Chain A
Amino acid sequence: QLQLQESGPGLVKPSETLSLTCTVSGGPVSSSSYYWGWIRQPPGKGLEWIGAIYYSGSTYYNPSLKSRVTISVDTSKNQFSLKLSSVTAADTAVYYCARHSLGSYGYRYFDLWGRGTLVTVSS
């Protein structure tokens, strides 16, 4: 059974770079049927899509975060990663990795989620 698991520091200082990794187990990240991406949820608030990557390296980002976000994939390790630079307290959130089911012209829905990891931005 395919599973996703986020990992990374739970505390990041303001102005530094947040780095998270999602390990995919039970199936290959190099599947032509999916994109792999990140979604976050600040405490007590709604969901925000951050971005997604295809196994070939093709990426798409939320325009509001694009200048600070990099998503990469390592097919040899069956992982994909998120880097968010110049973080502030507003970036404090639960970060989920999620599999994006692909349709004929785009992402249909998020059919598999990691358990989420809380990242707090504080000095």
Chain B
Amino acid sequence: QSALTQPASVSGSPGQSITISCTGTSSDIGGYNYVSWYQQHPGKVPKVMIYDVSNRPSGVSNRFSGSKSGNTASLTISGLQAEDEADYYCSSYTSSSTVVFGGGTKLTVL
């Protein structure tokens, strides 16, 4: 299985919105609504920010939102804050009953 494709880095200024894309195939993102997004600060454990494409766990800011179109999922962060600077990973269930991650995107808040 091939990793999902994410941009290596994105950046934005405080208060702005950014979107991170995650492209897969019809065997993963395109075929299932089990897409999730994880935030990881340096040296920390990944934390789920979005699950089932667009659902937010309790306690996650509503500045985080997710969507999907075809084989591409997206994570949007609005009202960027300094604390949002981190690595973000997408993940999808696959037709082989496995899980595939994206390569990760480093978000820099300018």
Binding site for B on A (CB under 8 A): 46-49, 51-52, 60-64, 96, 100-101, 103, 105-111, 113-116
- The prevalent SS among residues of B at the interface is loop
Number of interface residues of B (CB under 8 A): 24
Interchain nearest-CB distance for A19 vs B (Å): 21
- The prevalent SS among residues of A at the interface is strand
Assembled-state Cα–Cα distance A20/B89 (Å):
24
Report yes or no: B45 in contact with A116, Cβ–Cβ below 8 A.
yes
Residues in A neighbouring B51, C-beta threshold 8 A? 101, 108-109, 111
3 interchain residue pairs of minimum CB distance: A109-B36, A109-B51, A49-B99
Report yes or no: A63 in contact with B34, Cβ–Cβ below 8 A.
no
Q: Which of B19-60 contact A (CB under 8 A)?
A: 32, 34, 36, 38, 45-46, 48, 51-52, 57
Residues in B neighbouring A108, C-beta threshold 8 A? 34, 36, 51-52, 93
Interchain nearest-CB distance for A59 vs B (Å): 10
Question: Is B96 close to A, CB under 8 A?
Answer: yes
